[in-house]
Structure 1
Amino acid sequence: MVFIKPLSVYITQGTPIKIPLGCKKLNHEVEVGVIIGKPGFQITESNAMKHIGGYTVSLDMTAADMLAEARQKGLPWTIGKGFDTACPVGDFIPKDRIENIKDLGLWLKINGEMKQDGNTKDMVFDVPKLISFMSQYITLEEGDLILTGSPAGVGPVKPGDIITCGMHVPGVAEVTFKVE
């Protein structure tokens, strides 16, 4: 299953995450964001890494109740995954700063309490497979962002919560977002 997040949903540190109108359960999901650096269509898995420009720590905020209703009715996931502020992102991390994308730790804390602490080695699909699969149907352009999936520990946030997340990479800053 893949879905697209409109450009209007991306925010950077300093901008709050806003709970969408009518949402009763907003979930956090920390993910590695893969930033495409070289366009491509029908990219093979063996060439996929050549299309990466860099990475970022990302949040895939999900209006879980709205998504569940859409799933139940067989409707698109657009509102549940694509509301304004649904994709907080960190700074650009050049590709060469990540030694091994297949073994990269990432974490998330809410109000200082660890909620997610995982590793890309546990992903269902690795980065080359994700890039190759998506590019069979969609031309990937420079600057496109692919979110890779979230480790265990996905859960709800509420107004006033402070989300801090990052990667286990020396010198790579963590990012913090407030939920409103």
Structure 2
Amino acid sequence: MENIKNIYCVGRNYRLHAAELGNAVPTSPFLFAKPSYALVEANGEEIVLPGNRGEVHFELELVVRIGKAYEKGMTVDELVDQFALGIDFTLRDVQSELKKKGLPWLLAKGFPNSAVLTKFQPFNGVDETKKTDFSMLKNGEQVQRGNIKDMIFDLQTIIDFSAEHFGLGEGDILFTGTPEGVGPIASGDQVALLWGDSVLGEAKIKLG
């Protein structure tokens, strides 16, 4: 978790996920941010999430780390040095109310421990990354599976968009969107995040 600066998250970046929540498929990248207090590592220990604000939903994502200051024209393979798997935990009932009022999502997305990360791995390029699916197990059962080749906006597009509108530099990370299959988490659930067949991180969830 050290040396992480800005945490950007891409919403609705998989067509089937947008459909399962009844959202329109975006025509340009849709981003929000999380505070650094949201970060927690999936290192096998217990992760505490709010238990008194309605349903908490899991959203599995591929996360990329920017390894150098962005300059226009740089490719993903030049900029990204590491990747991880992450969970964008969401207070779904809170988010639904915020949407109705046209308000920002921070209350639903930015609470402590809402940005779960595995340990970072070396990034071997976009083409190589597309060869492997990522998935999440809940209590031993697969609940989500995805591949970045199915994203609506590819890594180059979301990196360029983030840099243009917010700035992008070494230590920034991007949650790149979640595939279909999101759902509620319960106290006592065990989660595991897999890259192919390799478990990169695990945690036990407690709703407090």
TM-score relative to the length of structure 2: 0.78
Matches within 5 A, 1:50-61: 50-61=78-89
Separation (CA, whole Å) in 1 of partners of 2:204 and 2:91: 16
RMSD, aligned α-carbons: 1.9
Equivalent residue, structure 2, for 1:74? 102
Unaligned runs of 5+ in 2: 1-29
Equivalent residue, structure 1, for 2:202? 176
How many aligned positions are there? 176
Separation (CA, whole Å) in 1 of partners of 2:84 and 2:166: 21
Secondary structure of the structure 1 residue equivalent to 2:49: coil
1:31 aligned residue (54, 58, 61): 61
- 1:21-71: CA deviation from partner (whole Å, max 9, x where unpaired): 532211111110010001115x34x62331111100111111111111111
Secondary structure of the structure 1 residue equivalent to 2:31: coil
Q: Which moved further from structure 2: 102-111 or 155-164? A: 102-111
In the TM superposition, what is the alpha-carbon distance from 1:97 to its structure 2 partner? 7.9
Secondary structure of the structure 1 residue equivalent to 2:169: coil
**Deviating runs (4+, > 3 A) in structure 1?**
none
Alignment check: 8 A CA contact 1:102 1:126 kept: no
Secondary structure of the structure 1 residue equivalent to 2:48: coil
Secondary structure of the structure 2 residue equivalent to 1:107: strand
Alignment check: 8 A CA contact 1:48 1:132 kept: no
One-letter code aligned to 1:5:
K
- 1:4-25: CA deviation from partner (whole Å, max 9, x where unpaired): 1111111012443322253221
TM-score relative to the length of structure 1: 0.90
Separation (CA, whole Å) in 1 of partners of 2:202 and 2:173: 20
Secondary structure of the structure 2 residue equivalent to 1:159: coil
Separation (CA, whole Å) in 1 of partners of 2:132 and 2:126: 8
In the TM superposition, what is the alpha-carbon distance from 1:101 to its structure 2 partner? 2.7
1:40 aligned residue (54, 66, 70): 70
Separation (CA, whole Å) in 2 of partners of 1:64 and 1:133: 26
Unaligned runs of 5+ in 1: none
Separation (CA, whole Å) in 1 of partners of 2:46 and 2:53: 16
One-letter code aligned to 1:104:
T
Q: Which moved further from structure 2: 13-22 or 140-149? A: 13-22
In the TM superposition, what is the alpha-carbon distance from 1:99 to its structure 2 partner? 5.6
Query: Structure 1 pair 103/125, CA: closer, same or farther in 2 (3 Å)?
Result: farther
Separation (CA, whole Å) in 1 of partners of 2:46 and 2:99: 27
